[in-house]
Structure 1
Amino acid sequence: MEYTRQEIMAVAAARELRDNEMAFIGTGLPMIAAYLATFTHAPGLTLIFESGIIGAQPRGLAIGVGDFKLLSHCQKATSLYYALSLLQAGRVDVGFLGAAEVDPYGNINSTAIGDYRRPTVRLPGSGGANDIASLAKRVIIIVGHQRRKFPARLHYLTTPGFLDGGDSRRRAGLVGGGPSRVITDLAVLGFEPVSKRMQLESVHPGVTVEDVKAETGFELLVPSTIPQTVPPTPGEIRLLRERIDPEGEYLAPPQPAARKGT
């Protein structure tokens, strides 16, 4: 069954979620991934939104974290402060983040491209991302795989990953576990346990290791054996297209001539 790159990203992210976890998510692909996990292998997943909506039930895609759709049958409607307090209390198992730039140690820039005082592009900034990255037990980063988005050095460090690598995160006093996965439209990336440097975990069908290297602006660690990302199943694709995002609000439908994995 044909699928798009966005669909394999959503499926790969969903598979990183575990039943009965507490997940701090946003809109877009993180929401789609969380809904898919809830409908498949993780029915006990608790969805937390920064607006303070706790235990949201998948009943239509929201356009923002404060969308009234998220209130339907939720466990609790609280506040931004309460949602962030769950992070501070160490109760959040996993958080999703996006990025304009990601460096070799999973540090994120979402503030500015170019000089901070006179940037080429001014970006939205941290929001709650710094809290999530600092305090969640693990973090999943979802980002398109382009060389400009994977520089050796960030223009601005908005959100901490493993800082300078090694035990620098621990020495900085950050209690969360840091990034566990970076999911892109080309591959799934992880972090080498000791150096904390980014490494290749799997390549999506139709993608080569060289394709991934060419779109990465730093030297990526590549183990001797790299598996292929398990493709989405027909059931997962049907859930995405028919139940989760039937209007194609976030997942663009495949083009008639699209090849598998494109």
Structure 2
Amino acid sequence: MPYTPTELMICAAARELEDGTTVAVGTGVPCAAAMLAQRTHAPNLVIMFESGSLAPQLPTMPVSVGDSTTQQRALMVTSMADVMQFCQRGMVDATFLSGAQIDPYGNLNSTMIGTDYARPKVRLPGSGGANDLASFCWKTLILLKHDAKKFVPKLDFLTTPGYLTGPGAREAAGLPANTGPARVITDLCVLDFADDTKRMRVRSLHPGVTLEQVRAATGFELPACDPLGTTPAPTDRELTLLRTEVDPNRYILGRAG
């Protein structure tokens, strides 16, 4: 069954979520990944929305975090402050984030593009809850399009911490040990971070993609795991669930190229 890059990203992201854990999501690809995980290998996955909904049973893809479907059969509907409190207390296992730029240590910029903060080339939305989530969730999963303008050696602005400047830097900044980015999932590959350097590396290539393609779309030196894996293609069951149950109205899948 043919699939799109977006469908492959969703399936790869879903496989990173474990049964019986908690995940903080927004709408879009992260929500689709969580919903797919619930319908396949992680039926007891607890979904949390930054807007305050805890453990809803999502019938189909919400249009936004304010959509009433994010509250359907939820265990609790509370506030953003409470969700951030849960995060800061170590109660959230995983979260999904993205950004306009990412550097080799998984730090993210979602604030501005340019060298002058007062007069940026582009003003972006800012942190929202991303800094809290990346600082205190046990595992951060990053989703973004693979492009050399996004994968940069140095951020124009550090909005959200990855591994900062390398091993020990998160802990030195006062962040909990054993937290930080675990995977970067793009339309070309899946990346992780080396234990000794905390720098990004290629973990698996998507079907039909070469390492040369990935490196050409990256603005910094990018090593690869040895052996280098291949990302499993979406199964027919995953694609059927995505298209008929998760996003039948194609709010997300309709954007796929």
Same fold (TM over 0.5): yes
Aligned-residue CA RMSD in angstroms?
1.1
TM norm structure 2: 0.97
Q: Specify the SS of the correspondent of 1:242.
A: helix
Distance 1:76 1:206, change over 3 A: same
Distance 1:219 1:254, change over 3 A: closer
Q: Which moved more, 1:148-157 or 1:63-72?
A: 63-72
Which of 204, 208, 212 is matched with 2:210 structurally?
Answer: 208
CA contact (8 A) 2:54 2:77 kept: yes
CA contact (8 A) 1:3 1:254 kept: no
Unaligned runs of 5+ in 1: 256-262
Deviation at 1:66, TM superposition (A): 2.1
Provide the rounded CA distance (Å) in 1 between the counterparts of 2:188 and 2:100: 16
CA contact (8 A) 1:162 1:178 kept: yes
2:150 matched residue in structure 1:
149
Q: Specify the SS of the correspondent of 1:35.
A: helix
1:56 matched residue in structure 2:
56
2:32 matched residue in structure 1:
32
2:12 matched residue in structure 1:
12
* Superposition map of 1:64-75 within 5 A: 64-75=64-75
1:147 corresponds to which letter in structure 2?
A
Provide the rounded CA distance (Å) in 1 between the counterparts of 2:212 and 2:231: 16
Unaligned runs of 5+ in 2: none
Q: Specify the SS of the correspondent of 2:135.
A: helix
Provide the rounded CA distance (Å) in 2 between the counterparts of 1:191 and 1:241: 32
1:150 corresponds to which letter in structure 2?
F
Report percent identity of matched pairs.
Answer: 48
Provide the rounded CA distance (Å) in 1 between the counterparts of 2:235 and 2:225: 27
Number of residue pairs aligned between Structure 1 and Structure 2: 255
Distance 1:87 1:253, change over 3 A: closer
Provide the rounded CA distance (Å) in 1 between the counterparts of 2:224 and 2:91: 33
TM norm structure 1: 0.95
Deviation at 1:63, TM superposition (A): 1.9
Distance 1:88 1:219, change over 3 A: same
Q: Specify the SS of the correspondent of 1:141.
A: strand
CA contact (8 A) 2:6 2:256 kept: no
1:260 matched residue in structure 2:
none
Distance 1:31 1:254, change over 3 A: closer
2:77 matched residue in structure 1:
77
- Deviations along 1:67-89, one digit per CA (max 9) or x if unpaired, are 11111101101111111110011
Deviation at 1:225, TM superposition (A): 2.1
2:102 matched residue in structure 1:
102
Spell out structure 1 runs of 4+ moving beyond 3 A: none
Provide the rounded CA distance (Å) in 2 between the counterparts of 1:196 and 1:13: 21
